[in-house]
Amino acid sequence: MTEAGEQEGAGSPVRTEADLGSAPRVEPRGAPRRAAAVAAAVLGALLVVVVAAVTPWHPLSGGRAAADPALDFTREQIARNERFSAAMDGPAYAGLAAGLVVVLVLGLTPWGARLLGRVVRRPSPSDTRPAPWRWGLRLIAVALVLSALTQLVALPFGAWSESVLRRYGLSTQGWGSWFGDRLTGFGVSLVIWIVALLGLHLLIRRFPRHWWAGAAVGGFLLVTAVSYAYPVVVEPLFNSFTSMPAGPLRTDLLRMARADGVPVSDVLVADASKRTTELNAYVSGFGSTRRIVVYDTLLASQSPKEVELVVAHELGHAKRNDVLTGTLVGGLGVATGACVLYLVMTSPRLLRRAGVRSAADPRSTALLLAAVTVLAQAAAPAQNLVSRHIEARADVHSLELTRDPATFAAMQRSLSLRNLDDLSPSPFAYALWNTHPSGPERIAMGRAWARLHHVAVPPPSVRP
């Protein structure tokens, strides 16, 4: 039995703050922490090299594309989209700040351990060596409390942004179904948290000094498994998917995919209209779970040529295996993060702040949650930066496939207007939220592509 296993397995029957003071010191120091730090540095460097190598930094070689919203949007349209973005800023920033404050307070003060102590401390005379199921139940209880708490904190801000979406006619959902979505999301994140926590604590018990290595490999595998299973396990919880009905559009789309050399056996339509009026399409999964999905809102409102352009963009993602690459890069990011987490969870200073003695204590999960949240938030701008370049490459692909920059520009314009996208986001908002280039940037790239390929350049849609 390992050191931490002893400590956790022996599990003093009533774990009060005072008991914990006399618990054996188990947090690894010295060599194991140095090994984890080296692993974090090596994986981090590998991550940077891989991201630099796989990101299409110049999706349109030789093309220049300066965005100008005034070319294609009237002053009123620009102002309306700006009003909507400003209204969404409130819940977005306040929700982000509230979520961070709550997890940081729980993780970096003894409050989190105290709160979790209420659910994991079960005074019982027979509890001198908790059975594995009891140990598992404690971790499940911890996951439940922390997931519920973070959901509850996010709830009012989610309701606030939903009310803005309604005011602007973007949401078609009732509050009952909105709440149902939240509950489903909570269930999904809870399952992921439970799997991750049980796995992590198995490793901590088994390898108290070197669990970072197992956590890095396990994190990588978990990301890969979730990304693979997501389209068949999670997406159906939120939407129904049907094959696009037989007809000229379906035939054209499958023909285009074949001509593009992308094996696509079906195009799925999601019943997005039960929730939103927004237009969208996406590719998810990889290997046997890969699918191209278009929103029913897109089919209902756009011309076949415009739908074809959207699907051509998605084929660009499929052809380049963007989901698989993103999954592997994400897995590498999580593996790097696992080594950093080990350093956090074995830091005597941070453990002391969190009011626990060791990562093996289930109550240390509050510190873990704080670290995971901060790492994920810190990575978001870099993820968005890479995502925007990948999206631009898919746009270029759709132009190459259709050679129709006029429809491309019209499509981007109607996407921006329907979805009320911010047409000239501030650099801060752009870095924090934009996974795609802005509408005017995409249209500008369409024009640049046309100039490069000597195809008629789409004229401005708005006369000055």
| Residue 279 near Zn ion by CB under 5 A | no
Residue 320, helix vs strand vs coil: coil
Q: Which amino acid is at 5?
A: G
Nearest to 18 by CA among 162, 90, 117: 117
Residue 415 CB, shortest distance to Zn ion, in Å, is: 11
Collapsing DSSP states into helix, strand and coil, what is residue 200? Answer: helix
Q: Considering the complex, state which of residue 283 and residue 356 has its C-beta at the smaller distance from Zn ion.
A: 283
Give the pair of three-digit tokens for residue 261.
């050399």
Residues 388 to 417 in contact with Zn ion, rule: CB under 5 A: 391, 394
- DSSP 8-state secondary structure symbol assigned to residue 289: G
**C-beta of 419: minimal distance to Zn ion in Å?**
14
Site for Zn ion in 318-347 (CB under 5 A): none
# of chain residues touching Zn ion (CB under 5 A) = 2
Minimum gap (Å) between residue 396 Cβ and Zn ion = 12
Element (H, E) at 223: helix 211-233
Computed from CA positions of residues 196, 202, 207, 209, in that sequence, does the dihedral angle turn out positive or negative? positive
CB of 390 to Zn ion, least distance (A): 7
Q: Comparing C-alpha atoms, which of 303, 328, 284 is closest to residue 402? A: 303
Beta bridge partners of residue 269, listed in sequence order: 242, 294
User: Which token pair is 276?
Assistant: 């939103």
Closest distance of CB 316 from Zn ion, Å: 7
d(Cα 199, Cα 7) in Å, to the nearest integer? Answer: 18
Smallest separation (angstroms) from Zn ion to the CB of 100: 28
Nearer of residues 26 and 293 to Zn ion, judged by Cβ? 293
Give whichever of 394 and 399 is closer to Zn ion, judged by the CB atom: 394
Q: Which of residues 354-393 bind Zn ion (CB under 5 A)?
A: 391
Measured N-to-C along each axis, helices 365-402 and 75-108 cross at an angle, to the nearest 10 degrees, of 150
What are the tokens at 9? 């397995």
Minimum CB distance to Zn ion, residue 317 (Å): 5
Closer residue to Zn ion (CB): 202 or 311: 311
Nearer to Zn ion among residue 317 and residue 413 (C-beta): 317
CA pair distance 92, 161, nearest whole angstrom: 7
Q: Is the Cβ of residue 162 or residue 391 nearer to Zn ion in the bound state? A: 391
Q: DSSP 3-state assignment of 241?
A: strand
Kindly state the tokens that stand for 302: 């756009």
For Zn ion, the closer of residues 310 and 345 by Cβ is 310
Structure-block tokens of residue 294: 């278009």
Query: Which of 398, 384, 399 lies closest to 433 in space, CA to CA?
Result: 384
Residue type, 76: E
Residue with tokens 């999670």: 234
Provide the minimum distance between the beta carbon of 312 and Zn ion in the complex, in angstroms, as a whole number.
11
Show the tokens assigned to 320: 């380049």
Question: Quick check: helix, strand or coil at residue 90?
Answer: helix
**Cβ at position 313, least distance to Zn ion in Å:** 6
Buried b (16+ CB within 10 A) or exposed e, 45-80: eebeeebeebbbeebbeebebebebebbbeeebbeb
Residue whose CB is less far from Zn ion, 88 or 394: 394
Closer to Zn ion by CB, 354 or 396: give it. Answer: 396
- x/- letters, 51..90, toward Zn ion (CB under 5 A): ----------------------------------------
Residues 6 or more apart from 49 whose CB is under 8 A from it?
A: none
Smallest separation, CB 55 to Zn ion (Å): 14
Q: At its nearest, how many Å lie between Zn ion and the CB of residue 283?
A: 7
Q: How far is the CB of 292 from Zn ion (least distance, A)?
A: 11
Largest distance between two CA atoms of the chain = 83
Separation CA 188–CA 233 (nearest Å): 10
Phi-psi region of 314 (alpha: psi -120 to 50; beta: other; left: phi over 0): alpha
Interface with Zn ion (CB under 5 A): 391, 394
